[in-house]
């Protein structure tokens, strides 16, 4: 009797233990994925999970830029593994069972290969392991590809695929440090395309973009592989010559570039001719990379002032900064004194309901003669000179006052986003300052969402993150701004006390039609949701983008489609007419907005 009772009980327990172990293994693997662990280690754990008994061996085969890569479980025959990666298109032997790994969008990501001894049957147990392994492998590879793509985006200019400004600055810093031990001078050239704006204005942005792409290609092929070519923004490029062997080499390279760009360009059937202004300088080993950049930029400014289409080498007599900049700084100081700054507010819409979820405060400078000046022109100067600390504090105070005012007018739950710069976060008194402004206006902390960028946290991470935690503790919310342009790591964001991820406009502009589902964007939204982050898409300009974002599960949208930044006094009125306005601008597809 005792025997009979024990035997049926033993099996379920074994099964329970087994399930427990399987679940544990699955949890461990998901944890590795969330922590962005090395892909081969994660795949190796998955391959082990796919082989539940000693009679089965499993391997995962994935394509990489270097060729096929195979990650095998211990039971997988080593000779077979070697054969499989020997060529780019291996023949899979009959004894191997192939299970392809496919993304939700139908992309082939790789395959799981199972090798079983003839006696080992495809049991329910093996099928269950295989199924879980397949799912986990797809998640791991998709996540890895997404991180790689985001890292690439953060380092390279998406239009020309040249290094971006940040990467160029990092490489230049490494170079001058290295050149201390290997004493060779470094050359820096700043290139500005002359009157490029005309191309955009007359022939449109598509042609302008294509021209920039072709300029990028020519520059890249005109210099040595060891030289660095970057697009530093707009129509400006930078070329760095890492180790110069003779005097006058910078000038020689500059002339070579100029003659390459002088050949006409064929852009969408237009024959276009360009001239370029170049500013150059060279630095002895150990030179300050910031000074090198500034000198080359100053020289470029002089090249333009002397009539363009020329190369000018830096001369200390030129001073240290282009006069325009110094002038701008002087004007900005006076703008603060004369209260010429004002905030405009851009609505943020809940995509599924069309409700007003929040507004972002965007600073403007009402210049007595220039009219409204964009923050893109003066915020960088304010940051460089430290003026941003007082400008930022003013903006926060004004936004709090405005939020309180709207509350009184009935817009009670509208959250106000305020941009905060790195320098503000680094101020020891920042938390107290924020709390003081809230108290002065009797505003609940939850109504303010501070927008920070990942790169602003990178300057002094310890201090900035401590500041974030202190403010979060007081009830202030945070959004990561321009996600996808900087460091772009969701694994990093996961450890920060933030509620919202604002996806940069460059992701949104990729959407042409309502049926488009850019895989990277879709993955970022899915992953952000799995981290409990609310997702706002920036720069929504078309109804197609609106519908695609809605279908991808994005929570909110902000962009010219819904509203341009508005005067504070117009926000309540805009909200009143919102349903009619939104149903017009998003009408092409299903009328999702109420
Ligand atoms: P941001 O925080 O990413 O702000 C979004 C920018 O995108 C705003 O530019 C906005 O006007 C623009 N925008 C919104 N919708 C669309 C659209 O559909 N298409 C296009 N092409 N653009 C759109 P804005 O106002 O020129 O501000 C530029 C940047 O200046 C802001 O980028 C932010 O980084 C900075 N900024 C603005 N106000 C402040 C401030 O008070 N403090 C600090 N530190 N920075 C600020
Ligand atoms: Mg912002
Ligand atoms: Mg932004």
CA–CA separation, 50 and 44 (whole Å): 10
The dihedral region occupied by 248, where left means phi > 0, alpha psi between -120 and 50, and beta the remainder, is left
Confidence of residue 197 (pLDDT cuts 50, 70, 90): confident
pLDDT at 120: 62
Residue among 375, 386, 399, 556 whose CB has most ligand 1 atoms within 8 A, to mutate: 375
pLDDT at 286: 82
**What contacts 343, CB < 8 A, 6 or more positions away?**
361, 362, 363, 364, 395, 398, 399, 402, 568
pLDDT at 541: 96
Q: State in Å: Cα 378 to ligand 1 middle.
A: 12
Closest-approaching ligand to the CA atom of 421: 1
For 369-424, write each residue's pLDDT tens digit. Answer: 878 888 988 998 898 888 899 999 999 999 999 999 999 888 867 999 999 999 99
pLDDT at 468: 95
pLDDT at 2: 41
Closest-approaching ligand to the CA atom of 420: 1
Pocket of ligand 1 (CB under 6 A): 346, 362-363, 374-376, 379, 388, 392, 395, 419, 421, 451, 481-482, 505, 538-541, 558-560, 565
Res. 321: pLDDT tops 70: no
For 332-384, write each residue's pLDDT tens digit. Answer: 888 988 899 999 999 999 999 999 999 999 999 998 887 888 898 899 889 88
Confidence of residue 118 (pLDDT cuts 50, 70, 90): low
Confidence of residue 67 (pLDDT cuts 50, 70, 90): confident
Q: Let me know: does 278 contact 190? Beta carbons within 8 Å.
A: yes
**What contacts 482, CB < 8 A, 6 or more positions away?**
453, 502, 504, 538
Q: State in Å: Cα 66 to ligand 3 middle.
A: 36
The stretch 72-94 carries a mean pLDDT of 83
Res. 319: pLDDT tops 50: yes
Q: From the alpha carbon of 540, which atom of ligand 1 is closest?
A: 18
Q: State in Å: Cα 461 to ligand 2 middle.
A: 20
- How large a percentage of the chain has pLDDT more than 70? 94
Confidence of residue 121 (pLDDT cuts 50, 70, 90): low
Secondary structure, 3-state, 378-439: HHHHHHHHCCHHHHHHHHHHHHHHHHHHHHHCCCCCCEEEEECCHHHHCCCCHHHHHHHHHH
Lowest mean pLDDT, pick from 180-184, 286-290, 413-417, 498-502: 180-184
Residue among 538, 562, 586 whose CB has most ligand 1 atoms within 8 A, to mutate: 538
Domains with residue ranges and CATH for the chain: 26-155 (3.30.450.40), 165-322 (3.30.70.270), 332-585 (3.20.20.450)
Give the closest residue (by CA) to ligand 1 atom 45: 419
Q: State in Å: Cα 409 to ligand 1 middle.
A: 26
pLDDT at 373: 87
CA–CA separation, 321 and 127 (whole Å): 68
- Residue that has been written with the tokens 């009219």 in this structure: 371
If one counts every other C-beta atom within 10 angstroms of the C-beta of residue 570, the result is 13
pLDDT at 12: 58
pLDDT at 589: 52
pLDDT at 594: 38
- How large a percentage of the chain has pLDDT more than 90? 58
Q: From the alpha carbon of 375, which atom of ligand 1 is closest?
A: 30
Q: Let me know: does 303 contact 310? Beta carbons within 8 Å.
A: yes
Q: State in Å: Cα 476 to ligand 3 middle.
A: 19
Q: State in Å: Cα 265 to ligand 1 middle.
A: 33
pLDDT at 5: 46
Length of the chain: 594
Res. 274: pLDDT tops 90: yes
Which token pair is 121?
Answer: 């049957």
pTM for this model (two decimals): 0.72
CA–CA separation, 213 and 231 (whole Å): 10
The stretch 308-328 carries a mean pLDDT of 82
For 426-473, write each residue's pLDDT tens digit. Answer: 888 999 999 999 999 999 999 999 999 988 888 788 889 999 999 999
Q: From the alpha carbon of 565, which atom of ligand 1 is closest?
A: 11
**Which chain residues have CB less than 5 Å from ligand 2, an ion?**
419, 451, 481
For 216-246, write each residue's pLDDT tens digit. Answer: 999 999 999 999 999 998 899 999 999 888 8
Nearest to 151, CA basis, from 459, 404, 487, 445: 487
pLDDT at 8: 44
Closest-approaching ligand to the CA atom of 380: 1
pLDDT at 243: 85
Q: Which residues of 444-471 are buried (b: 16+ CB within 10 A; e: fewer)?
A: ebebbbbbbbbbbbeeeeeebeebbebb
């Amino acid at each position: 009797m005792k025997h009979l009772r024990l035997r049926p009980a033993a099996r379920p327990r074994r099964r329970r233990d087994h399930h427990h172990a399987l679940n544990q293994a699955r949890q461990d693997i998901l944890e590795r994925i969330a922590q962005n662990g090395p892909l081969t280690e994660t795949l190796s754990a998955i391959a082990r999970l796919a082989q539940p008994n000693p009679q089965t061996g499993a391997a995962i085969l994935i394509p990489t830029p270097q060729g096929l890569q195979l990650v095998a479980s211990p039971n997988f025959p080593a000779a077979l593994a070697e054969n499989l990666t020997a060529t780019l298109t291996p023949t899979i032997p009959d004894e191997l069972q192939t299970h392809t790994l496919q993304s939700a969008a139908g992309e082939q990501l790789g395959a799981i290969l199972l090798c079983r001894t003839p006696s080992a049957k495809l049991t329910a147990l093996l099928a269950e392991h295989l199924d879980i392994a397949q799912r986990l492998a797809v998640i791991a590879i998709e996540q890895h590809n997404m991180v790689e793509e985001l890292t690439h985006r953060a380092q390279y200019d998406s239009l020309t695929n040249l290094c971006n400004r940040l990467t160029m600055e990092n490489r230049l810093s490494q170079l001058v440090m290295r050149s201390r031990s290997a004493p060779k001078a470094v050359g820096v050239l700043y290139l500005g395309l002359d009157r490029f704006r005309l191309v955009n204005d007359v022939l449109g942005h598509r042609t302008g973009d294509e021209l920039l792409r072709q300029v990028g290609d020519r520059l890249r092929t005109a210099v040595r592989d060891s030289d660095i070519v970057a697009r530093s923004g707009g129509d400006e490029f930078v070329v760095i010559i890492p180790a110069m062997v003779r005097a006058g080499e910078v000038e020689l390279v500059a002339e070579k570039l100029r003659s390459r760009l002088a050949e006409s360009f064929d852009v969408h059937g237009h024959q276009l001719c360009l001239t370029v202004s170049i500013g150059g300088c060279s630095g002895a080993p150990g030179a300050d990379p910031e000074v090198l950049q500034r000198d080359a930029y100053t020289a470029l400014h002089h090249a333009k002032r002397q009539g363009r289409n020329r190369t000018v080498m830096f001369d200390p007599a030129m001073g240290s900064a282009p006069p325009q900049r110094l002038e701008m700084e002087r004007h900005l100081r006076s703008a603060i004194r004369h209260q010429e700054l004002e905030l405009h507010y851009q609505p943020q819409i809940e995509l599924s309901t069309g409700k007003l979820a929040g507004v972002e405060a965007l600073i403007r400078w009402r210049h007595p003669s220039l009219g409204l000046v964009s923050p893109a022109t003066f915020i960088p100067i304010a940051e460089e000179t430290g003026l941003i600390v007082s400008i930022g504090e003013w903006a926060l105070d004004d936004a709090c006052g405005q939020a309180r005012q709207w509350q009184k007018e009935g817009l009670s739950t509208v959250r106000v986003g305020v941009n905060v710069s790195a320098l503000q976060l680094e101020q020891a008194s920042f938390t107290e300052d924020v709390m003081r402004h809230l108290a002065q206006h009797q505003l609940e902390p939850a109504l303010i969402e501070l927008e920070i960028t990942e790169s602003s946290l990178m300057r002094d991470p310890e201090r900035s993150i401590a500041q974030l935690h202190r403010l979060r503790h007081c009830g202030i919310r945070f959004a990561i701004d321009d996600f996808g342009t900087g460091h772009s790591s969701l694994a990093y964001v996961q450890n920060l006390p933030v509620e919202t991820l604002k996806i940069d406009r460059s992701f949104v502009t990729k959407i042409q039609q309502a049926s488009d589902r850019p895989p990277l964007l879709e993955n970022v939204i899915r992953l952000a949701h799995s981290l409990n982050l609310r997702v706002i898409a920036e720069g929504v300009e078309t109804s197609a983008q609106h519908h695609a974002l809605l279908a991808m599960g994005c929570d909110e949208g902000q962009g010219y489609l819904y509203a341009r930044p508005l005067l504070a006094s117009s926000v309540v009125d805009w909200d009143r007419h919102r349903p009619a306005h939104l149903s017009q601008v998003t009408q092409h597809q299903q009328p999702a907005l109420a």
